[in-house]
Every structure is written in structure tokens, then in C-alpha cells.
Amino acid sequence: MRLLEGLLPALAASGAGRAVVIGSNSSTTVPMIDDHLAGHLLAGDEKTARDHARAAQNQVPAEVRAASPTISAYATTKFALARWARHTAVTPAWARQGVLLNVVAPGAVVTPLMLAGGSAEDLDADSFPTPMPLGTFGNPEDIAFWVHQFLRPEARFTTGAILCVDGGTDAAMRPDAQPTAMTV
């Protein structure tokens, strides 16, 4: 957030500024989003956010902590980042200066982090903890393609978007989440 805020003058001066944030589908598919932590992050209160995350980690069920000890904090930080991008993208400081800001939210992508010392052959989409409708994992190139699309001049009418590039995981888990009707 601070990096992009610092780059805003240069992006605006370019006449065609574009920024793409790498989010995560965890911001919509992990049920343990911590609203208090997200608030601290969005307020820029890093110390309080860290302290809160450490304390909150103890509230995560033991079986979840054993499988993924920081999943709530990870999902919450990606949630806060996506929310920041949507709020920021439509402000006059960004939108009216022609600086477009969008989010690509990857799902399970075969990276060294995902492999954690194993190999791609060890991965099984059918036994993955979240649905994998395409029956396969993503590759970094799948994410890079969509980042590139957001950076293209033809993307001039897109800002504040969050694009899940997750093989259908978000749609499988939350089929009615989008579109949502605006209420009055």
C-alpha cells in the first residue's frame, strides 16, 4: 500500500499509470477473516496489527493451526489489501488522474512456497483442501497473463476490479457471491 502510494505521482505523470496488486483467493475462500486485524492493517498500524495477529493466532482451532498455522493472518492481509485497492482505485487522487489500480487474486499456484520442499508430482488437485474444478493447479504464467492484461493500454476502462485466477475455486465455494445486488 505504501509503495503504491509513493509511486502515485510517477504513475500519474506517465499519463497512463497502471498498478496491479497480487492478492489471493484466500481473501474470499478462507472463513477466518479477522475484521479487527484488517482494520489495523488498513489504518496503517503495523505494530498493533502484528500484536493482534499473534494473539488471535491462539484462537484458531488447533487442527487448523497444525495444518496451516498462519492461514487466518494470511487471508486477512490479502483481504485488507484487496479492500484497500478497491477503495483507493476510485478516489480522485487515482481515478481522476487516470491511474488504474486492479487486483489479481490467484488460487493454488505451483510455486516454491506451495511446494514447500516437495515436488509438483506430490500435488493432487482432488485431495486439495479447497475445490479445484479444473482438476489442476495454476502456474505462475497463468497469473502473469492476467497481470499483463490489466497493464495493457486497452484496459483503460478497468479500475477497482478483483479478478480471481484460481481455476474456479472461488466460484465453486461461493457461487452466489457475485454478482450481488445493491440494496437501497
Residue 175 neighbours by CB distance under 10 Å: 9
Q: Is 155 exposed, middle or buried (0-12, 13-18, 19+ CB in 10 A)?
A: middle
CB 73 within 8 A of CB 53: yes
Of 180, 23, 39, 30, the C-alpha closest to 101 is 23
Helix (H, G, I), strand (E, B) or coil at 102: strand
Q: Side chain identity at 61, as an amino acid letter?
A: P
Of 12, 42, 48, 74, which is the active-site residue? 74
> Which residue stretches of 45-168 are H helix?
46-57, 62-67, 71-89, 112-115, 140-151
The C-alpha atoms of residue 124 and residue 128 are separated, in whole angstroms, by 6
- Say whether 74 is catalytic: yes
Q: Are 19 and 103 in contact (CB under 8 A)?
A: no
Active site residues: 74
